[in-house]
Structure 1
Amino acid sequence: METIQKMFEHLNWANIRILKTLQNAEVENQEIIRLFSHILLAEKIWFTRLQGLDSSNVPIWTEVDLKVCSQLVEENQEVSTKFLSQLNNTDLDKIVFYKNSKGTEFKNTIREILTHIALHGQHHRGQINIKLRTDGIEPVGIDFITFVR
């Protein structure tokens, strides 16, 4: 549980760093904003599923602005912090049944889903950093080791 907790502290830290960079640089590249919103919407979808709720009304790819991203960062941090605070090690192996955006049913453990959430976002934050560099903006330091230093 301690490792998963630390992964989500890092996830929230990295999301805030990306958000602040996009806001401060006044990034208008819609592809970058779309990638960032995808990370945040995916987090929202997964925590909705983890709570046993229907996530079919949450879009996975959509056009939003940085104001909406800022709200999602805050909401996701609150939801993830609350959810994780209520878990213990034995809960991590519980099975969650859910449907993907196409209506196909799947099942995974809470541990697997939480690991996916943490890794999925890091993948796309790397893509954002490549696009920032291409646009002449300094990439954001989001490495886990930087976080824990």
Structure 2
Amino acid sequence: MFEHLTWANARILKALQNMKVENEETVQLFSHILFAEKVWFTRMQGLDSSNIPIWTEVDLKVCSELVEQNKELSTKFLSQLSNTDLDKLVFYRNSKGTEFKNTIREILTHIALHGQHHRGQINLKLRADGIEPANIDFITFVREY
């Protein structure tokens, strides 16, 4: 699932980089995906994520850097994870300061679904601007690997 996520992020990044004019709304959606991934992996490591923005204006260069950082972060985290770790609880505060707890399994599922939801929104905006959307379908990923 996370190999697909990384692949899909790279495809969206490439589609946005190929645009003649940078669309701030699509870049903001993409950066939201990437910052949210970073927040969740930070929380699962038991670290404070309050200094990581969820919604902020950045350019595609920052997005490109985040794609690589998140790939490294997720690969390292997942490679050290055992099946028994999936049911461990993570205690964290959301961006509004409210405390929650979820299992690592629930958080990982959320990360994958959250990103796919917003990548779909980005593709919708690309199509509305007359640009061919990035094919980020899981089945396409499976066929290519």
Q: Output the TM-score relative to the length of structure 1.
A: 0.94
Greater shift in the superposed pair: 21-30 or 77-86 = 21-30
Residues 52-131 of structure 1 mapped to structure 2, 5 A cutoff: 52-131=46-125
Q: How many residues align?
A: 143
Matched residues, percent identical? Answer: 83
Could you report, residue by residue, the CA deviation over 1:10-61 in whole angstroms, capped at 9, with x for unpaired residues? 0000000000111122441100000000000000000010010000000100
- Structure 2 partner of 1:141: 135
Could you list the runs of 5+ residues in structure 2 that have no partner in the other structure?
Answer: none
Shift of 1:121: 0.1
Alignment RMSD: 0.7
**Partner-residue secondary structure (3-state), 1:107:** strand
Could you report, residue by residue, the CA deviation over 1:56-88 in whole angstroms, capped at 9, with x for unpaired residues? 000100000000000000000000000000001
Shift of 1:105: 0.5
- Cα distance in structure 2, aligned partners of 1:101 and 1:23: 29
- Structure 1 partner of 2:29: 35
- Cα distance in structure 2, aligned partners of 1:34 and 1:143: 22
2:43 to 30, 46, 49: 49
Could you list the runs of 5+ residues in structure 1 that have no partner in the other structure?
Answer: 1-6
- Cα distance in structure 2, aligned partners of 1:31 and 1:85: 34
Paired amino acid for 2:59: D
Greater shift in the superposed pair: 20-29 or 8-17 = 20-29
Paired amino acid for 2:5: L
- 1:136/1:111 CA distance change after superposition, 3 Å: same
Greater than 6 Å deviation, 4+ residue runs: none
- 1:78/1:141 CA distance change after superposition, 3 Å: same
- Cα distance in structure 2, aligned partners of 1:53 and 1:101: 14
